[in-house]
Structure 1
Amino acid sequence: MRMMVARLEQRVKPMAIAEANQYTFHLEVTDNLGTLIKDMQENGMKVGLAIKPGTTIEYLAPWANQIDVALVMTVEPELGGQKFMEDMMPKVHWLRTQFLSLDIEVDGSIGADTVHKSAEAEANTTVSGSAILRNEDPRSVIN
């Protein structure tokens, strides 16, 4: 689950009670990152940090050894119909070269035309929504 909400800290315990096993959130939404990561881990969840396109990789890097997933956004969150920002791929590649075992996800305008760019940058997971859900033949897109 990825959360883009206010007062994120208040939602950890309810998510743990709901048996969430991973909690991915935009690191831009909190000033208490260390405490939040620790709280999630103490509640039995893997931790994922997402960064928006305008956030530098240097902001995420100090936390990379404490998290399970880094999510690089290739569009601005919550603004549908955007074009894939290929210039985010150096962030993915840099993370892979520095943190070999880190799960690295890419989200935003991922489809048949762009998924290979994420793979080339060495992301190991992609998030694809509308490219699949808005297609008359979702299976063909997935294949």
Structure 2
Amino acid sequence: EAIRRAGAKVGISIKPATPVEALRGLLPAVDLVLVMSVEPGFGGQSFIPGSLDKVRELRRLCDELGVRPVVEIDGGISAANAAEVFAAGVDAVVAGSAVFKAADPEAEILRILGA
């Protein structure tokens, strides 16, 4: 509540090994859940495909609890997997390496958003 009183949103991040069920008691209190689709620590890692199942499971749990946090995913996101990631139920993506290593970052962003 102190975070909200300060005018900020409440977010939580889960690593690839963290089960979605671990969020059950926290979801009613958060505005955003960041699903890590790589092990945190450094950029340029490959997307962990099981992260899509984690997003779907998170959406089911949110529906069960009657909450609707923003679901964001970070790690290994590119135009090659963005459509599948959005279809799994994310609201936002973090695509650092794909964008910043692209010859044309703006075009890469448009490819990701158009997926």
TM-score of Structure 1 vs Structure 2, range by shorter chain: 0.7 to 0.9
TM-score normalised according to structure 1 size: 0.69
Give the match for residue 47 of structure 1. 10
CA distance in 1, matches of 2:52, 2:25: 19
Give the match for residue 90 of structure 1. 53
Report deviation, 1:79. 2.6
CA distance in 2, matches of 1:118, 1:97: 16
Report deviation, 1:139. 1.6
Equivalent runs, 1:1-143 vs 2, <5 Å:
38-100=1-63, 101-143=68-110
Report deviation, 1:97. 2.4
Conserved in 2, the CA contact under 8 Å of 1:74 and 1:85? yes
| Higher alpha-carbon deviation: 110-119 or 93-102 | 93-102
Conserved in 1, the CA contact under 8 Å of 2:43 and 2:97? no
Query: 3-state SS of the aligned residue for 2:10?
Result: strand
RMSD: 1.3
1:64-89 CA distance string (max 9 Å, x none): 11100011000011133311001011
Report deviation, 1:49. 0.4
Deviant stretches of 4+, over 3 Å: none
Conserved in 2, the CA contact under 8 Å of 1:108 and 1:128? yes
Report deviation, 1:42. 2.6
1:47-71 CA distance string (max 9 Å, x none): 1100011111111222111100011
Can you give the 5+ residue segments of structure 2 that lack an aligned partner in the other structure? Answer: 111-115
Aligned residues: 106
Highest relative contact order (Cα 8 Å, sep 6+), 1 or 2?
A: 2
Conserved in 2, the CA contact under 8 Å of 1:96 and 1:102? no
TM-score normalised according to structure 2 size: 0.84
